[in-house]
């Protein structure tokens, strides 16, 4: 029986608007690097802002909205989506529905950003501006689209995104970011540089984590796709670089399965659970998957 559309497809922004958004943060990052010398306060600001925005992608849009790896109250869920918008990669519903498509159609022509089925340039950046990918099929993520506040945030994601930029400028202008950080430097190093780096970090996951021929990675699981674990990329993305692990068992709140696989996003989720903001974080990796990956012996198991 055919599924009846409930929320429909929300049209996406035009290609020129998507292109301007990407160019804008690159120009801002270039101006920061060339004209605003780094010092300790600016380094601290840039790192803190990057970590928040990268967690918005990996800990929120990916592990919560895409895979439901933990639970949250409706109010906290709204706050998560609000933070999720700070990554600058559209709204959480769009991000999650696109990622679900990636898993459903992995490395086929229907995968939005597969370097196995599309060119590297298409997979790294060009796919983002295609009208068919900018649209959001809300019925494909109806479990979250049923909340009107999430639909509003997804449609008007740019409001909290650029409001965050304005707050950084004002905080710097009024001296709230520490000595030596004015409005312009706060905006450039606290907004444009981290947003630009997060954009490239996500693109590197979409491409390099599906290119096993490149050095610096390993495949623990013989899954049907070409996903690969990349520890260096995992450090940059707070854990997303353990992509082969993730494609073997996407339901977990952790992507690092071994003790030596540093998964910062998972630690942050555990911290949020400890203070009661989220609950039911899915930490357990099934024994059979650990055994399959050589991380546990069958000895002692029933």
| pLDDT tier for residue 3 given thresholds of 50, 70 and 90 | low
Mean pLDDT (the chain) is: 95
Confidence class for position 4, pLDDT limits 50, 70, 90: low
* pLDDT at position 133: 93
Q: With 0-12 CB in 10 A as exposed, 13-18 as middle and 19+ as buried, what is 143?
A: exposed
pLDDT tens-digit map of 99-110:
999 999 999 999
Give the pLDDT confidence score for residue 118 in this predicted structure: 95
Supply the pLDDT for residue 299: 66
Residue 275 CB burial class (10 angstroms; 0-12, 13-18, ≥19):
exposed
pLDDT at 145: 97
Mean pLDDT on 112-125: 95
Number of domains making up the chain:
1
Give domain status of residue 158, yes or no: yes
- Residue 301 in any domain: the answer is no
* pLDDT > 90: percent of the chain: 95
Q: How far apart are the C-alpha atoms of 244 and 189, rounded to whole Å?
A: 33
Confirm whether 3 is domain-assigned.
no
Nearest residue to 150 (alpha-carbon basis) of 209, 219, 76: 76
How does residue 1 score in pLDDT terms, banded at 50, 70 and 90? very low
In this structure, is residue 2 part of a structural domain? Answer: no
Say if residues 168 and 186 touch (Cβ distance below 8 Å): yes
Tell me: pLDDT of 179 over 90.
no
* Mean pLDDT computed over 140-168: 97
For the stretch 10-50, pLDDT in tens is 999 999 999 999 999 999 999 999 999 999 999 999 999 99
| pLDDT digits 0-9 by tens, 212-251 | 999 999 999 999 999 999 999 999 999 999 999 999 999 9
Please say if the pLDDT value at position 158 is more than 80. yes
Question: What is the per-residue pLDDT across 121-139, written as a single tens digit (0 to 9) for each?
Answer: 999 999 999 999 999 999 9
According to the model, what pLDDT value does residue 2 have?
46
In this prediction, residue 121 carries a pLDDT of: 96
Is 67 contained in some domain? yes
Residue 127's nearest CA partner among 67, 206, 25 is 206
Looking at residue 301, its pLDDT comes to 54
CB distance 115 to 102 below 8 Å = no
User: Is 40 within a domain?
Assistant: yes
Structural domain harbouring 229: 10-292
| Of 254, 214, 205, 213, nearest in space to 89 by CA | 205
Is residue 276 assigned to a domain? yes
Token pair of 274 as six digits: 């400890």
Q: Is the dihedral of CA 263, 257, 103, 59 positive or negative?
A: negative
**Any domain includes 5:** no
Here the contacts of 241-247 (C-beta below 8 Å, separation 24 or greater) are: 241/205, 241/209, 243/205, 243/209, 243/210, 244/209, 244/218, 244/219, 244/220, 245/220, 245/221, 245/293, 247/103, 247/106, 247/221, 247/223
Residue closest to 168 by CA, chosen among 90, 59, 89, 86: 86
Closest by Cα among 288, 220, 223 to 258: 220
Tokens of 273: 């659970």
């Amino acid at each position: 029986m055919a599924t009846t559309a409930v929320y429909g497809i929300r049209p996406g922004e035009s290609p020129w608007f998507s292109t301007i958004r990407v160019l804008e943060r690159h120009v801002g990052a270039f101006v920061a690097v060339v004209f605003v010398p780094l010092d300790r306060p600016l380094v601290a600001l840039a790192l803190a802002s990057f970590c928040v925005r990268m967690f918005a992608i990996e800990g929120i849009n990916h592990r919560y909205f895409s895979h439901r790896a933990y639970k949250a109250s409706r109010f906290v869920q709204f706050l998560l989506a609000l933070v999720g918008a700070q990554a600058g990669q559209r709204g959480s519903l769009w991000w999650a529905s696109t990622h679900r498509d990636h898993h459903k159609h992995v490395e086929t022509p229907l995968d939005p950003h597969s370097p196995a089925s599309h060119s590297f340039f298409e997979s790294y950046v060009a796919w983002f501006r295609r009208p068919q990918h900018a649209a959001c099929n809300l019925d494909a993520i109806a479990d979250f689209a049923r909340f009107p506040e999430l639909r509003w945030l997804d449609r008007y994601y740019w409001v909290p995104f650029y409001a965050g930029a304005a707050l950084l400028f004002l905080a710097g202008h009024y001296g709230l970011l520490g000595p030596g950080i004015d409005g312009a430097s706060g905006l450039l190093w606290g907004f444009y540089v981290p947003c630009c780096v997060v954009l490239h970090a996500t693109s590197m996951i979409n491409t390099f984590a599906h290119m096993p021929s490149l050095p610096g990675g390993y495949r623990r699981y013989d899954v049907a796709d070409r996903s690969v674990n990349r520890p260096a990329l995992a450090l940059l993305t707070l854990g997303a670089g353990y992509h082969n692990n993730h494609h073997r068992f996407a339901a977990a709140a952790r992507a690092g399965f071994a003790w030596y696989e540093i998964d910062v996003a998972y630690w942050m989720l555990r911290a949020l659970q400890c203070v009661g903001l989220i609950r039911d974080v899915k930490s357990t990796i099934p024994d059979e998957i650990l055994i399959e990956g050589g991380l546990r012996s069958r000895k002692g198991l029933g």
